[in-house]
Every structure is written in structure tokens, then in C-alpha cells.
């Protein structure tokens, strides 16, 4: 990766960590799921407002490291207006990107590409994917809380 691109990515991560987007409790949320990553101590609560199968609004509360906070902040931005199906597909692509098991087109994940660097740090992959595992549980509507362990 080019150094200037890496710097740009880090800048986006720092920005979302300092000023998380959609950081609020949602009244009348249709889905509310708590996610926990014991490996790092990241905790978040994800709120979704649904209109049919479209994610109309997404927000979160919680505290975690810079990677988990920027990941959930970016996620709440990007999933708004997407269908549950589209969000699940994005999760799959994001998961491939962060685990590095499969090469993906970075264009397919838009802004989320800033988190591609975590694949070089296996211990941080769960920080980046916690938000998405929580979203997956919220969409499937099977559990009120999940843990990455
Ligand atoms: Zn973390």
C-alpha cells in the first residue's frame, strides 16, 4: 500500500473515532442488540429502524478501541438506506477483506476500505468485525446480545 494512502486511511479512522457518527440512543428502535468483544473489551449497542426490509436508520452507543469505534461509525453510515440483504452481502465482503482470506475489490466496500489494514493485525480483526457481527444478529433477530468469542 502506498504510504500516502495509508495516511489517508488512518486519518479517516481517527476522525470517526474522535467524532463517531450516529452515536445516540434510538427511541422506538425495531432492533437493539448488544455486541461484546472480550479479546479487546469493545462493547456496543446497535439500534436499527426498519421499514419493511430497508434499514431506515442505524445508531449505536458504547465504548471501545479506535478500530471498533470507527468501524461501527462507518457501518451505521453505510447501511442506511440499504436492504437487509444488501447489508448482509456487504458484511460478507467486509469479512473477506478484514480476514484477508480472499482478495476483494476495495471499490465494493466504499469507505470501509480504510479498515483493510487490520488484516495485518490478526488480534484487531474482531475489533473491526464486532459491529458487523452485531448487525448480523440484529438482522436475523435471533439474539439480544452477541460475543465474538
Ligand atoms: Zn478493539
Q: State the CATH number of the domain containing residue 92.
A: 3.90.1010.10
With bands split at pLDDT 50, 70 and 90, how would you rate the model's confidence at 2? low
- Whether 117 is covered by a domain: the verdict is yes
- Whether 145 is covered by a domain: the verdict is no
- Whether 124 is covered by a domain: the verdict is yes
Cα separation, 87 vs 16, in Å, equals 20
- Whether 146 is covered by a domain: the verdict is no
Q: What 3-state DSSP class applies to 149? A: coil
pLDDT tens profile 13-23 = 999 999 999 99
- Whether 110 is covered by a domain: the verdict is yes
Cα 46 to middle of ligand 1, angstroms = 16
B/e letters for 122-149, b = 16+ CB within 10 Å, e = fewer, are eebbbbbbbbbbbbbbbbeeeeeebebe
- Whether 85 is covered by a domain: the verdict is yes
Contacts of residue 29, Cβ cutoff 8 Å, sequence gap at least 6: 47, 48, 49, 59
Cα 26 to middle of ligand 1, angstroms = 23
| pLDDT for res 3 | 66
| pLDDT for res 100 | 87
- Whether 149 is covered by a domain: the verdict is no
Cα separation, 32 vs 55, in Å, equals 13
Q: Cell 456487504 maps to which residue?
A: 90
| Mean of pLDDT values over 48-63 | 98
Cα 39 to middle of ligand 1, angstroms = 8
Query: What is the count of structural domains for the chain?
Result: 1
Q: State the average pLDDT for the chain.
A: 94
Q: Give pTM, 2 decimals.
A: 0.94
- What is the residue range of 84's domain? 2-140
| Res. 60: pLDDT tops 70 | yes
Q: What 3-state DSSP class applies to 83? A: strand
| Mean of pLDDT values over 39-47 | 97
Amino acid at each position: 500500500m502506498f504510504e500516502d494512502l495509508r495516511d489517508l486511511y488512518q486519518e479517516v479512522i481517527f476522525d470517526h473515532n474522535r467524532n463517531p457518527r450516529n452515536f445516540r440512543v434510538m427511541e422506538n428502535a425495531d432492533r437493539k442488540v448488544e455486541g461484546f468483544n472480550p479479546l479487546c473489551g469493545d462493547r456496543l449497542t446497535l439500534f436499527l429502524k426498519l421499514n419493511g426490509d430497508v434499514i431506515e436508520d442505524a445508531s449505536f452507543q458504547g465504548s471501545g478501541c479506535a478500530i471498533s469505534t470507527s468501524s461501527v461509525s462507518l457501518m451505521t453510515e453505510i447501511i442506511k438506506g440499504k436492504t437487509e440483504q444488501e447489508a448482509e452481502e456487504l458484511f460478507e465482503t467486509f469479512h473477506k477483506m478484514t480476514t484477508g482470506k480472499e482478495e476483494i475489490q476495495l471499490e465494493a466496500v466504499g469507505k470501509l476500505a480504510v479498515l483493510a489494514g487490520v488484516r495485518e493485525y490478526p488480534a484487531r480483526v474482531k475489533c473491526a468485525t464486532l459491529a458487523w457481527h452485531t448487525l448480523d444478529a440484529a438482522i436475523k433477530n435471533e439474539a439480544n446480545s452477541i460475543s465474538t468469542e
